[in-house]
Amino acid sequence: MLAAENLVFRAGSRLLIDHVSAAFEPGLLHLIIGPNGAGKSTLIRILARLLRPAEGRVLYDGRDVASQSARDLARRRAMLSQAVEVAFSLPVRELVLMGRYPHFTARPGAGDEQVCDEVMKFFGLAGMADRCYGTLSGGERQRVQFARVLAQIWRPVEGATRILFLDEPLTFLDILHQIDFMNKIRGFAAQKDAVVVGVVHDLNLAARFADRLLLLHQGRILAEGPPPGVLVEEHLRPAFGVAPVLIRDAATGKTHLVFEDRGPA
């Protein structure tokens, strides 16, 4: 269980996160949506303890993250960002093994190597182990980074829920890989000891894959809950400045969104 209590974050005098409280349950896929500048990336970074809030606190399983050691945290919490830049060209396997860094001291143990094998197989990277990261395509790089991040929390942690954060993980992926990624994320989120919180831009992907949505606007939560209740005109028009047309697919029961062709007012 991941909970945020009354979070406030300022950049200079600007209020980026304005008294946000929320709870994220294991076994469900939570996605944060909102227009540019709504504070999505800031919020997810505070939740992951990569930023310190000015007020409020973040609790993992009821414990304040501010009081936990960076290493203990890193064994159960991982974060995938968009476009990770690698300074020196590393082989793919070395990069994926970095996900195990919080779990070993000097050199990886047999367990770490095994996790690395499993994760690379899961992502179809087994044949790329010795390729240099610098020679990969944008989509391949994102797959390697996702493998690294999942390697970090691949195995259950005794007495703790694992928490995965995703900050716009689909940016460099084509449509096939976007769907593949979202299915893998759903698969991970379905575990009883895993909390997944992601930020996505594409509202249709959000509608299709999320169990819970959190709509952020000007640093505040405008709406939250299962997608059908959040993705309605009275929420989307004030947040995005455009009105949605909802198309219900009778065959799958899923809702698709189309937007009016009108720029910002």
Segment lying near another protein (by CB under 8 A), choices 98-106, 178-186, 198-206, 255-263: 98-106
Beta carbon of residue 88, minimum distance to another protein (angstroms, whole number): 4
By CB under 8 A, tell whether 84 contacts another protein.
yes
Segment lying near another protein (by CB under 8 A), choices 56-64, 85-93, 192-200, 201-209: 85-93
Binder of another protein out of 67, 85, 251, 265 (CB under 8 A): 85
Q: Which is nearer to another protein, 98 or 214 (CB)?
A: 98
Contact 40, 87 (CB under 8 A): no
By CB under 8 A, tell whether 261 contacts another protein.
no
Beta carbon of residue 55, minimum distance to another protein (angstroms, whole number): 18
By CB under 8 A, tell whether 11 contacts another protein.
yes
Tell me the site size for another protein, rule CB under 8 A. 37
Contact 177, 139 (CB under 8 A): yes
By CB under 8 A, tell whether 139 contacts another protein.
no
- Which chain residues interact with another protein by CB under 8 A? 11-12, 45, 48, 50, 69-75, 77-79, 81, 84-91, 94-95, 98-99, 101-102, 106-107, 132, 134-135, 148, 152
